[in-house]
Structure 1
Amino acid sequence: MTYFHIFICLCKTLSHLEEIVFTLYILSSTDSVRLVDGSSHCAGRVEVLHRGQWGSVCDDDWDMRDAAVVCRELGCGEAVDVLGNSHFGPGSGPIWMDDVDCSGSESTLKNCRSAGWGKHNCNQTKNAGVICSGKLQYIWVRLVGGPRCSGRVEVLHENTWATVCVEDFDQQDAEVVCRELGCGPSMEVLGAAAFGRGEGQVWTEELQCRGNESQINLCPKSSTLTHDCSHDNDVGLLCADMVRLANSSRPCTGRVEILHQGQWGTVCDDDWDMRDAAVVCRELGCGEAVDVMGKAHFGPGSGPIWMNKVACSGSESTLKNCGSSRRVSDCHLAGVICSGKLY
């Protein structure tokens, strides 16, 4: 924040000057919101600056549209996930915003509707968090050769992408990679170049992740390898997608379900259309959308209903980036038929 002192002189006589000092607070967009206690500037607990003091935001009704505003305001790309229940730890100081309701087009979080400054029925165990796609750091890891959240593991080493040997990669490492990429939990570690042989270097260090790190560059590493490794041993990884199609004999057809806060839930068919379906099919590597199904065509789901009135433009990389509402009254479940196969 930048402070400017403005001096105003009220001259009664030449021998008597009365000076009044005002302080003008000028906020840039990056000064009015921040993400705290995450792995980077683009992930963490949401905090806003109001009356010169940083405070937190309650997770009531906190959704992807709200997160999209925060990510855009910080220059952090798209919203990848929204997190509640103080996922990034409890804040301190005031809780400035509750019941936030952004349309998604606002230039700053402060322009979104809310219960009013400092008005809330929340405590610091219910702070809102955000994970955005952008980072201040390098992209340290990627998955190549498979659909989203699956592929050959490659890490950025000395500005060059290198593959990883299967002997130097375990389930704890896999959990960190999946988490860093915004995917669901690790499902399987694959050897024998399951996603094809890589090119260039094979990484010469061994990851020794504990499994709870947010990024692999935070994991301990060992450079005392006792074996040689070729691209025939490039490791591959299957992470759970954040979206799946359930209750069908075909992997690219079924009831739409999304993973949020570690729990699978369903999607309402209100306003569900081919643009929404196209995002799901593309996210799953399932080709094009062939048809949209409603009225619980693929059977009733279980667990929470996470999204309602989904409004994708069709260009989003993941369903979670589409606008939606969490307010659900009477709802039938959405389904999709895609053209392709997962593998």
Structure 2
Amino acid sequence: MWMSVCDAVFDQQDAEVVCRELDCGAPVQVLGAAAFDKGDAQMWTQEIQCRGDESQIHLCPTSLPQKYWSHDNDVGLVCGDRVNVRLVGGHSRCAGRVEVLHRGQWGTVCDAGWDMTEAAVVCRELDCGEPVDALGDAHFGPGYGPIWKNRMICTGSETTLKNCGSVQLYDYDCNHDKDAGVICSGEQF
């Protein structure tokens, strides 16, 4: 269930937890007075009392219900961008195996369906120009750790790979021998 939170009960520690949970970097600004417009969800009436190190907002302690707040007091939050994708094993920062940061851990992307559309999103996100090649079969060497995305589905207009959809392919044996890679035009040898 989606809930609106009152700006009077949301502070910097709460913001740190929300930005971390969403994998959106550090909090930049907490905004009140429905800065991003009024919500229409049920209003959360308890004070959230995060310490700032929780992994998810629902793990934070809360107080007893407080007075009723209106959607005129919905809190807004701006999280700072951070690098959520990187290219590893190439000759520059604009070529390599695609790795995605999720919940504080780097993992790879499967090459199933990996093509120039997905490569364009990675190159744009890293400010590396246009895609030159979308590679599979661990062209830049096999990664390790989790394989976060089994099959990416991008339209090509996304500003970050995390905004692309993905599907789990149960008939495709994805392992690190099938890690996806990219070469962007910004690559320099």
What is the TM-score with the length of structure 1 in the denominator? 0.35
Displacement after TM superposition at 1:181 (Å) = 1.1
Report the secondary structure of 1:39's partner residue.
helix
Q: For 1:102-141, what aligned pairs fall within 5 Å after superposition?
A: 137=76
Alignment of 1:320 with 2:166, yes or no, is no
Q: Cα RMSD between the aligned structures?
A: 3.3
Relative to structure 1, the CA distance from residue 35 to residue 288 in structure 2 (aligned partners, 3 Å threshold; closer, same or farther) is farther
Structure 1 gaps of 5+ residues are: 1-31, 47-73, 76-84, 93-134, 140-179, 184-240
- Does 2:82 correspond to 1:248? no
Q: Which residue of 2 aligns with 1:340?
A: 186
Deviation at 1:325, TM superposition (A): 2.8
Distance change (3 Å), C-alpha of 1:138 and 1:300: closer
Confirm or deny that 1:39 pairs with 2:22.
no
2:143 corresponds in structure 1 to: 301
Distance in 1 of aligned mates of 2:112 and 2:76: 39
Q: Which residue pairs with 1:262 in the alignment?
A: 104
Gaps of 5+ in 2: 23-38, 41-53, 62-73
Partner of 2:186, secondary structure, is: coil
What is aligned with 1:90?
59
**Residue 247 of structure 1 contacts residue 255 of structure 1 at CA under 8 Å; is this kept in 2?**
yes
Matched, 1:330 2:173: yes
Q: Which runs of 4+ in 1 moved over 6 A?
A: 42-46
1:340 maps to a residue whose letter is: G
1:245, 1:44 → 2: CA distance? 22
The reply on whether 1:182 has 2:81 as its aligned counterpart is yes
- Please show how residues 218-229 of structure 1 align to structure 2 within 5 Å: none
Residue 283 of structure 1 corresponds to which residue in structure 2? 125
Q: How has the CA–CA distance of structure 1 residues 138 and 302 changed in structure 2, closer, same or farther, with 3 Å as cutoff? A: closer
CA distance in 1, matches of 2:56, 2:97: 28
Asked if the contact 1:35–1:45 (Cα under 8 Å) also holds between the matched residues in 2, the reply is no
Does structure 1 retain, via aligned residues, the 8 Å contact 2:119–2:134? yes
Greater share of strand: 1
Offset at 1:276? Answer: 0.4
1:28-81 deviations in Å (ceiling 9; x for gaps): xxxx523667539x86989xxxxxxxxxxxxxxxxxxxxxxxxxxx79xxxxxx
Change beyond 3 A, Cα 1:35–1:257:
farther
Identity %: 50
TM-score for both structures, normalised by structure 2 = 0.60
Output the amino acid matched with 1:247.
Answer: G
| More contact order relative to length (CA 8 Å, sep ≥ 6) | 2
Structure 1's 136 and 314: CA in aligned 2 closer, same or farther, altered over 3 A?
A: farther
Change (3 A) 1:326 1:90: farther
Contact 1:306/1:326 (8 A) holds in 2: no
1:196-211 aligned within 5 A: none
Write the distance in 2 (CA, Å) between the matches of 1:284 and 1:244. 8
**Counterpart AA for 2:173:** D
